[in-house]
Amino acid sequence: MSRATMTTPLPPLVPARLSGRDVVRTGLGGLRARPARVVLSALGIAIGIATMVAVIGISSSSKEDLMRRLDRLGTNLLTAKPGSTLFGEEARLPESAPAMVARIGPVTEVGALGTIETTVRRTDRIPDEITHGISVQAASTGLLATLDVPVRHGAWLNPATARYPGVVLGAEAARRLGFDRAGGRVWIGGRWFTVLGVLGPAELAPEVDRSALVGWEAAGTYLGFDGHPTTVYERSADDAVEDVRAVLGRTINPQNPEEVEVSRPSDALEARAAAAGAFTNLLLGLGAVALLVGGVGVANTMVISVLERRREIGLRRSLGATRGQVRVQFLAESLLLSALGGAAGIVLGTAVTVAFALYRGWPPVVPLWALGGALAATLAIGTMAGLYPAMRAARLAPTVALASV
């Protein structure tokens, strides 16, 4: 053998590269060695993610229900009520207010209520002081179509029955008086009135739910109603709502339009949706805190894992594993641990959302961006929680790691 052959330098040693599959298998191997600790650590992540997904899902389901109700009920309903005079006294709407509103071009439906100072009772034996919180109101025949309120049983007032002592009960008034169907009589203003019908819920006019509604003409004949409406309701074309709103006060009371208060009942539902969104942000903050606590638990688990596995780290380094490979191994374990908790949290949060929405009769809605955000938050927490333990494991020298066992 020649001297040249004996002195040929050996090629430099190149550490083997870890494929993505190898990284996952190594990370799963580390997790399988400590299943109880893994489950408890993942539980913290799962609770945080489940809270965030459920909060967003329940809020979205509630908003979707509100939006569907708004689409069904419409946002083109306006109400006009008496405001205050310049002297601070309560103003009155003119008797001609409903007829004047009906003359506005884009207006399609008009209805009116007029409060009557009397009580309604199941029998004449009940004292006048016991009213059950039910008001008696004169109602125009166009009220039901304007408010789009269903008749649960019986019939609504018509031009014939509106002249005689008959009454239609709102949903809450019927419940308090013990009526679930038409028929029977109630005592109003010193005489008997026949119950002609029972209404369903009036979502845009809750005052109707707590009222006993008498025909406009009958209220004047039998109960001394003065004919001045206390609330005028109107519906118009969707694209003309703001224009009608601008002229409604001047149309009802041309001399003193400032004494007329105009509002849109659908604004209350939209405000409720906005308030629910603000409350959702608060609950999301609580979910983020729970997720942060879960991340601290994962970091603690990984730090303890590094301390307990010094011999394994030293052995791998002695066999040629680089610092980067050790770092990737422990970072992969942290990410897999967080992903396990995140997946469980997404499933749990979605299940809670669906169950709660179905219980409340809402359409279940879990936005895709919420699931994507939950996954991104899980990976971010896993990265932050595993970065320090991975760097600490990579800094261990093989001889020190083996000698410390």
pLDDT (tens digit, 9 = 90+) per residue, 225-268?
999 999 999 998 888 888 898 899 899 988 888 888 988 877 76
Contact of 290 with 44, CB cutoff 8 Å: yes
DSSP code string of 14-69: -PPPPPHHHHHHHHHHHHHTSHHHHHHHHHHHHHHHHHHHHHHHHHHHHHHHHHHH
Nearest to residue 101, comparing CAs of 75, 79, 73, 74? 79
Tokens 């304007």, residue located: 146
pLDDT (tens digit, 9 = 90+) per residue, 35-71?
777 787 788 888 888 888 888 888 888 878 877 777 6
Contact of 199 with 168, CB cutoff 8 Å: yes
pLDDT value, residue 166? 95
pLDDT value, residue 129? 73
Name the percent of the chain lying above pLDDT 90.
Answer: 33
Distances (CA, A) of 78 to 90, 241, 276: 20, 8, 24
As a whole number, the mean pLDDT across the chain is 82
Distances (CA, A) of 397 to 343, 388, 391: 36, 17, 12
**Polymer length in residues for the chain:** 405
Residues 6+ apart with CB under 8 A from 7: none
- Full-prediction pTM beyond 0.75? no
Residues 6+ apart with CB under 8 A from 207: 113, 135, 231
Q: Position 308: which residue type?
A: E
405 residues of the chain, pLDDT tens digit each: 445 455 666 566 555 566 667 667 766 766 777 777 778 778 888 888 888 888 888 888 887 887 777 767 667 888 999 987 776 677 889 999 999 999 998 999 999 999 999 999 988 887 777 777 899 999 999 999 999 899 999 999 999 999 999 999 999 999 999 998 888 999 998 899 999 999 999 888 889 999 999 999 999 999 999 999 999 999 988 888 888 988 998 999 888 888 889 888 777 666 665 655 555 666 667 667 777 777 777 777 777 777 667 677 777 767 667 777 778 877 888 888 888 888 998 999 999 999 999 998 889 988 888 888 888 888 888 888 778 777 877 776 665 555 555
Q: Residue 132 region, left (φ>0) first, then alpha (ψ -120 to 50), else beta?
A: left
pLDDT value, residue 280? 64
Contact of 338 with 381, CB cutoff 8 Å: yes
pLDDT value, residue 337? 83
